[in-house]
Copies of this chain bind each other. A is one copy, B any other.
Amino acid sequence: MNRQELVNLIKEKQSYLCVGLDTDIQKIPKHLLSHADPVFAFNKAIIDATKDLCVAYKINTAFYECMGIRGWESLQRTVEYIPSGIFTIADAKRGDIGNTSTQYAKTFFETYKFDSVTVAPYMGKDSVEPFLQFPEKWAIMLGLTSNEGSKDFQLLETGNEFLFEKVLKAGVQWGTPENMMFVVGATQSSQLGHIRKLVPDHFFLVPGVGAQGGSLEDISTQAMNKDCGLLVNASRAIIYAGNGEDFAIDARNVALTYQQEMAIYLRKMATAVV
């Protein structure tokens, strides 16, 4: 999916919600365990219940990888089931020397046909560039993450700026707003406005809303740009909203609350731009 298509999708749906499918077989409703592929049965129900409310699904590959080969089968079924026209993110945080990163890019863009994959910056330019060589595909590079450990290195001062600022500036050089996004954690709201000034045009994938405590209002007022420029992810807060037969309805209700709040911020932005 290219950038204009993503921007159009956000306007049509009045949403920049990304639903995170961090599906843990230990946490899904018990009645699904009789299915041949319980994880896919769960994801299918969540997708059916939320596909009109979100613009993206993010699959956290770790939760599938830990189940071995049947986990990858569930992942493949899930990504194939997501309706075309919804942006797909492999949240895999890959990155290695160039020839290895190329294999990872092929994995997620060609083998599983995701639109995008999250990448880790520590190994530098040649570890990220292979992800930028595929038309209408995206690298989503870690900038400032939502976890406690973001302080350990990302907030180290290097010269007159933080490491994460150097990372963001490098990413802007390596990619374009058409093939590069950045992960910026919602729990870092004090930094969001500053980061948007530093990186005016690129999309941000913002995790950490909901279970991790980030505020949708803070994110939206501080980091939205004229094209929206945001994909705000909620995982556990949506997919585990309920645990009974009606779990998908519970999930939809939470997603709807997010979407309705997002529509308000999008209207404000549209008014401000006019």
By beta carbon, the residue of chain B nearest A167 is: B153
- CB <8 Å contact, B103 and A125: no
A72 at the interface (CB under 8 A from B): yes
Please indicate the chain B residues that have their CB under 8 angstroms from the CB of A98 in the complex. Answer: 147
A65 at the interface (CB under 8 A from B): yes
Within 8 A of B (CB), among A28-72: 60, 62-63, 65-69, 72
Q: How far is the CA of A107 from the CA of B72 in the complex (A)?
A: 12
A106 at the interface (CB under 8 A from B): yes
State how many residues of chain A have any CB contact under 8 Å with chain B.
57
A140 vs chain B, min Cβ distance (A): 13
- CB <8 Å contact, A96 and B158: no
A157 at the interface (CB under 8 A from B): yes
A190 vs chain B, min Cβ distance (A): 18
Within 8 A of B (CB), among A143-185: 145-154, 156-159, 163, 166-167, 170
Q: Please list 29 pairs of residues, one from A and one from B, whose beta carbons are closer than 8 Å in the complex, sorted by A's number.
A: A24-B103, A63-B100, A63-B103, A65-B103, A65-B104, A66-B111, A69-B73, A69-B76, A93-B123, A97-B146, A97-B149, A120-B122, A121-B122, A122-B153, A123-B149, A123-B150, A124-B147, A124-B153, A125-B148, A125-B149, A125-B152, A126-B149, A128-B149, A152-B170, A153-B166, A153-B167, A156-B158, A156-B163, A157-B159
5 A-B pairs with the lowest CB-CB distances in the bound complex, closest first: A124-B149, A124-B152, A62-B103, A66-B107, A126-B149
